[in-house]
Amino acid sequence: MLKKYLKFYEFIAIPEVLDKGIRPWQIHSLICTMLTTGVLMWGYAIVAYSEIYYPIAGIVGFSCSFIHMFSPLAIRWLRSISIPSFLLIGSGLIHQATYAYFSGGFSSNILIWFGILPMLGGVIEGNKGTLKFFFYTMVVATFFLFLELYGPDPVDYLTPKGRLITQAMMVFGWIFLSTAIIYVFNVLMKLNEDNLEVKNQKIRSLLKILSHDLSNPIIIITQRLKMGLKEDRVEIPIEKYRKIENILENLRKMIFNLREYEEVESGNKDLELTSVNIVDSVQYVLEMFSEQIRDKNITIKFFLSDDLNPIVFAEESSLKHQVLSNIISNAIKFSHKNSEIIIKLTQENDMTMLEVIDSGIGIPDYLHETLFEMSFKTSRRGTEGETGSGFGLPIAKTYVKFFKGDLKLCPERSKQNKTCFILKLRTFRG
């Protein structure tokens, strides 16, 4: 059952929907609301058809139940949450109002369900939904009160049997619905607590790494400055200045990478996905690292498939500077002098795939599982002693996830002296 639910969710929550700013929890909330309240919608529709001696009540009941049932599909079609939410809850409001009109008006016990509609609106849309459906239900409830006070005598076409069924549905329906809401709430709270614990564990691990990686360079700088003071030398040799500068630059990069990672991971960094030419982006990054490539005399072999559509869905600056630059700079860093790096661009269905293969020192098996984890130390020196923070690949992976793509190590092609990374991005279909 859970697999079917998740499959239906994935059918609704396509990348084009999520790109419109619709949150996954909103989609889950709407689907769960439809499933839990759908039983009552269809139950009241059947009672209206069979126990109310007026056909309009049954017709409206079944029509609203169908709209209610198919409302999640509107998310996929309309790329919106407010309209599907209105279809879901609004159909319930119309169904209940019609049922009440033909079963005693303001005295009909079905009107008790009006009280839950603003709550459901809040579950799906937040405070905006709560206030919106509070207004709608207040208007309809006030209309029924006005009819009761100043209108003609209310009609009541509901049979005694139908009244008993209606009362039973109200009693047991409230028990069922309140239980379902609290149960789902507790499940979500547990998931949230688990996520917080995982994040806290990552923070603790990250702090351990940082306390080591930041303290060592600071100790080196301090020792060199103390040596200069002890020797009463005002002038420090230019070589030591350069070493201190390199250490400080590595610290700056480490702090910058951490800030970038945190902003993207927490959703605070505003990135607008557009069409980007990945061939131009790769060439741009290769030009960025042209000096390092030349110093190591590395040969770059760039292959493009004949059917390639080079336009992908991404954010251009972060694709170049956070994703491609980390992948390609790693390949250069761990490549030997006079070796080659192979870059392949191919097409597979709606995905554009970039492979970067170097013939360097490879990646040990024990690092494969933690390579993209920020909370594990994976930094190693390059073939010429190049240093790094170890945060480049986790940051790249985070951005790629934001692009709704994938970045992974290809283990079967990453042997002792070879490393292969595969980047998958959605092909842009204008």
Listing DSSP states for 259-280 in one string gives HHHHHHHTT-S----EEEEHHH
Q: In Å, how far from its chain's centre is CA 107? A: 46
**394 inside domain:** yes
CB 148 within 8 A of CB 106: yes
pLDDT for 145 equals: 95
311: part of which helix (H) or strand (E)?
strand 311-314
- Alpha-carbon distance of 341 to 344, in angstroms, equals 10
- Alpha-carbon distance of 26 to 128, in angstroms, equals 13
**222 inside domain:** no
Residues 183 and 278 in one domain: no
Residues 159 and 288 in one domain: no
Residues 145 and 282 in one domain: no
Residues 172 and 313 in one domain: no
- 232 DSSP 8-state letter: T
Residues of the chain whose pLDDT is less than 70? Answer: 199-271, 364-368, 370, 374-385, 387-391, 411-417, 430
Residues 176 and 289 in one domain: no
Residues 322 and 413 in one domain: yes
Residues 168 and 301 in one domain: no
pLDDT for 305 equals: 82
**227 inside domain:** no
CB 17 within 8 A of CB 81: no
**235 inside domain:** no
Treating both helix axes as pointing N-terminal to C-terminal, what angle do 117-125 and 82-101 enclose, rounded to 10 degrees?
170
Question: Around 5, how many Cα atoms within 13 Å sit in the side-chain half-sphere?
Answer: 10
CB 384 within 8 A of CB 338: no
pLDDT for 203 equals: 63
**217 inside domain:** no
CB 26 within 8 A of CB 125: yes
Residues 175 and 317 in one domain: no
- 209 DSSP 8-state letter: H
Residues 67 and 174 in one domain: yes
Residues 89 and 187 in one domain: yes
Residues 192 and 306 in one domain: no
CB 113 within 8 A of CB 96: yes
Structure pTM? 0.61
User: Residues 6 or more apart from 307 whose CB is under 8 A from it?
Assistant: 347
pLDDT for 133 equals: 95
Number of structural domains (the chain) is 2
Q: Which of 197, 217, 236 is the last residue of a domain?
A: 197
CB 28 within 8 A of CB 184: no
Whose CA is closest to 57, among 9, 97, 21? 97
Q: Which of 140, 168, 197 is the last residue of a domain?
A: 197
Q: Which of 177, 197, 217 is the last residue of a domain?
A: 197
pLDDT for 85 equals: 96
354: part of which helix (H) or strand (E)?
strand 351-358
Total residue count of the chain as it appears in this document: 430
Residues 144 and 37 in one domain: yes
Report DSSP letters for 211-231, one per residue.
HHHHHHHHHHHHHHHHHHHHT
**249 inside domain:** no
**287 inside domain:** yes
- Tell me which residue range forms the domain holding 357: 272-426
**209 inside domain:** no
CATH number assigned to the domain comprising residue 276? 3.30.565.10
